[in-house]
Structure formats: C-alpha cells, structure tokens
C-alpha cells in the first residue's frame, strides 16, 4: 500500500490549530482530577459513620408483666375488673364456674373462721350453724363430716352420761371423805374412853386378886372392857374401808375424766382435721378456679372476654403490668458482629406498633451482654435512656412485650478503613 510522504506539516489548518490556546478544561483537567482525588482521600479519612449491628427487640419493664393462665377449663363465672384498670396484689380478677359457687365459698370461708375462733376459745359447745340452702360441691362431704363432729362434741359436753357419772362420783367422794372425818373423830373420842376403861379394868383386876370383888363381877367387867376394844377396832375397820372406798372412787373418777378428755380430744381432732381439709380444698379451689393478681399493677385483657364464655385450660387471658416506669429492652443478635458489642454502646429501637418514620425511635444504652448464646443467638440487656419518649419527642403508650427491631451502634469507622477492610477481604 503506498504511503503519502508529502504531507504538508505547516499547512494553514495545522498552523491555525497549533496557534489556538487550549481551553481551561484541557489546561487544568489533570490538576482538577488530582485535586478531587486528594479531596476524596481527605474526606474518606476525615468522615466517619457508625458501624451498626441489627437484632430483634422486645420492650418490657424491669419487673416484667405477668400473664395469668387458666388452670381449669370452663365457663367464666365472674369478671371483677375492666381492661386497663388498676389492681392490688391478690385481688380476684375473674373466676371459672365450678360446682362450688362463689357465694357458697365465701359463706363457707366465714363459717370456717367462726368455728376456728370457737375452737381457740374452747367454746365449741356454743357454736350454732346458720348455713342453710347452700351446696358446697366437692367439699360437701367434708362439710357434713365437720358438722357431725361438732354435734358429737356438743352432745359430749351437754348430754353425755360421762359428764353425769363424773359429777356423781365427785359427790360420792365428798360424802366418803366426810364419813372418814366423822369416823376419825369417833375413834379419837373412843380412845379417850378406852383409856379410862383400861384404868378401871386394871383396878378391878387388883380388887379381884385381893378377893374384894367376886369372880362373876370381874368376868362381867372384863367382858365390858373387851366390847369397848371391839368397838374401837370396828371404828378402825370402818375408817380403813372408807379410805379404800375413797381410793376406788378417785380411781373411777380419774378413769371417767380420762375417757371424757379422750373422747373430747377425739372430737376436737376430727373437727380440726375437717377444718384443715376444707381449708386446703378451698385453697385448691381458689388456685384452680379463681384468677387473682399476683402483683399490683394494671390489668390488660389479652382477648375479648365475657361472662359464660368457655376458656380452655392453659390459655392466657390476662396480664398484669407492674406500676413502674423502669423500661428495659431485650435484644437478640446473631453471632456475626457479637465481638463488637460492648456495655455502654448506644442503641436505637424501632417499635413495630409505632412506625419510626411517624413516631421516631427510642434510645437506649447497653447494660449487659450474655456470655453464652442460646440457640446461636446472644441476649443484650438495654436500659431506656428517655423511657418511652421517642426521638420525635412523642411518648409511646406501653403494652406488654412490645416487639420491633434494634440497631446497636458499635463504633465510628472512617471510610478509608471500610475500603481497606473490603480490600483485605478480597485479597484473603
């Protein structure tokens, strides 16, 4: 192919182009690019923005809400409170219908207290039952046993033959002791007469020995003396027999009292046992059929409820929210980035109930981080900085176990650090 070696380098067109100075873009373009690169590097070094780790969050209170679970299936008998009303500890909230009505339970509880007071004051014989026309369901049998034991106790105190025998034996003992005292006095008087009789008999014996009195007279006087001795011996015998009678009566009285006290204790034990069983059954009924507030706070209905509505066993129908404003959040995060999470780092919470673009976000601070994961997730405990006041200065209304998402701001990184980190990842 032929080449043209006769190109005119100094033609008018070439001279015109070479004599025209380049515009500023061409003259300063390289410098501008260089300056822009320097500016980018400078800004990349100077500008920082946070590294964020996301997770799921549940917002609750320091004392978490308590859910109340139905322990026995059945229809709702009473609902004593309204949604969002305040309740005190152990306040009855609702009850499930059973064979023991609420009215019968209240009457029986009061009656049990009255009987316990009589038992404490030893006045059970004065107790009179005023309960009529009520059915106590599964407690009916135990209540009837209690009434029978009370009736037996009253009969023992008022009408039992043991009480009469004890009183009669006491009277016999008193009479025998009076007879013993009288016999003792008679023996004392007789002994004085006997002393005189002995002296007279001794004198008669001396006269007989001297022949002053005849033998027949002496025999008569000796016989009279022996009769006096026999009288004293009879009195002594009566005294011993009276003492034996008193001892036998006292033994009999002791046995009567023992039998009485034994029978009395038996009835008292039956009463106490039935009271204890009924109290346990009432307590079991309360735990099974009555729903009470374990703590003070605000009650929240977890579903629409009405009287006669059937509720399944194990169903949570109420929650008690404690009366405090110490809100905390629990965040679950994945293993990735866990090492960057530290106590004191800032957390931004987005609550599902309140869209963040309308209500803003909640601010928190990490209080603790779990050391051991649960199901490959770590638990982070966050304290709310401004309570439920959002970044838009709006107060969010709390409801139990509010969920959402969380962003943990771990640290501020330069753009250059992030670029170099990406390069390191590529080269590795």
What would the pLDDT profile of 147-201 be if each residue is shown by its tens digit? 898 888 888 887 666 667 777 778 888 888 887 787 777 766 666 666 656 656 6
Q: Alpha carbon 99 to chain centroid distance?
A: 25
Instruction: Give the largest Cα separation in the chain, rounded.
Output: 220
Percent residues over pLDDT 90 in the chain:
11
Residue 170, Cβ density class (10 Å: 0-12 exposed, 13-18 middle, ≥19 buried): middle
User: Would you say residue 38 has pLDDT above 80?
Assistant: no
What does the DSSP 8-state code read for residue 350? E
Residue 299, H or E segment: strand 297-301
Can you give the pLDDT at residue 406?
92
Q: What is the mean pLDDT of the chain?
A: 79
CB contact set of 194 (below 8 Å; sequence gap of 6+):
228, 229, 232
* Tally: H helices and E strands in the chain: 8, 14
Which comes out higher in pLDDT, residue 407 or 218?
A: 407
pLDDT tens digits along 217-271: 666 666 666 666 666 777 777 778 878 888 888 887 788 778 888 888 888 899 9
DSSP SS3 for 67: strand
- Comparing C-alpha atoms, which of 379, 380, 386, 387 is closest to residue 327? 387
pTM equals 0.52
Can you give the pLDDT at residue 1?
43
pLDDT tens digits along 328-382: 899 999 888 788 888 988 999 999 989 988 999 999 999 999 888 888 889 999 9
Percent residues over pLDDT 70 in the chain:
73
Can you give the pLDDT at residue 56?
93
């Amino acid at each position: 192919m032929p080449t043209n070696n006769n190109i005119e380098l100094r033609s008018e067109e070439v001279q015109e182009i070479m004599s025209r100075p380049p515009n500023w873009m061409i003259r300063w373009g390289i410098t501008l690019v260089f300056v822009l690169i320097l500016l980018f590097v400078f800004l990349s070094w100077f500008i920082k923005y946070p590294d964020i780790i996301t997770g799921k969050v549940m917002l609750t209170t320091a004392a978490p809400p308590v859910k109340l679970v139905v322990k026995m299936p059945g229809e709702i008998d009473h609902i004593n409170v309204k949604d969002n009303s305040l309740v005190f500890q152990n306040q009855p909230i609702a009850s499930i219908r059973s064979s023991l009505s609420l009215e019968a339970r209240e009457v029986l509880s009061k009656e049990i207290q009255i009987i316990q007071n009589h038992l404490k004051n030893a006045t059970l014989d004065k107790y009179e039952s005023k309960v009529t026309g009520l059915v106590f369901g599964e407690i009916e049998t135990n209540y009837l046993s209690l009434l029978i034991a009370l009736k037996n106790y009253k009969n023992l105190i008022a009408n039992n033959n043991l009480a009469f025998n004890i009183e009669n034996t006491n009277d016999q003992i008193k009479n025998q002791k009076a007879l013993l005292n009288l016999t003792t006095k008679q023996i004392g008087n007789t002994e004085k007469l006997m002393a005189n009789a002995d002296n007279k008999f001794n004198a008669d014996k001396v006269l007989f020995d001297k022949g002053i009195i005849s033998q027949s007279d002496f025999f008569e006087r000796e016989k009279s003396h022996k009769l006096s001795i026999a009288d004293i011996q009879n009195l002594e015998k009566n005294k011993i027999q009276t003492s034996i009678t008193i001892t036998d009566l006292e033994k009999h009285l002791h046995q009567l009292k023992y039998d009485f006290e034994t029978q009395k204790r038996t009835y008292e034990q039956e009463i106490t046992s039935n009271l204890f069983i009924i109290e346990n059954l009432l307590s079991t009924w309360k735990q099974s059929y009555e729903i009470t507030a374990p703590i003070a706070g605000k009650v929240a209905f977890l579903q629409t409820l009405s009287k006669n509505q059937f509720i399944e066993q194990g169903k949570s129908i109420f929650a008690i929210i404690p009366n405090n404003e110490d809100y905390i959040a629990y965040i679950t995060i994945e293993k990735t980035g866990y090492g960057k999470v530290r106590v004191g780092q800032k957390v931004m919470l987005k609550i599902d109930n309140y869209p963040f673009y309308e209500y803003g976000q909640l601010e928190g601070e990490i209080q603790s981080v779990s050391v051991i994961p649960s199901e490959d997730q770590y638990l982070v405990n966050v304290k709310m900085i401004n309570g439920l006041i959002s970044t838009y200065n709006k107060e969010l209304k709390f409801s139990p176990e509010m969920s959402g998402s969380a962003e943990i701001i771990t640290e501020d990184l330069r753009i250059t650090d992030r670029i170099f980190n990406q390069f390191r990842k590529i080269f590795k």
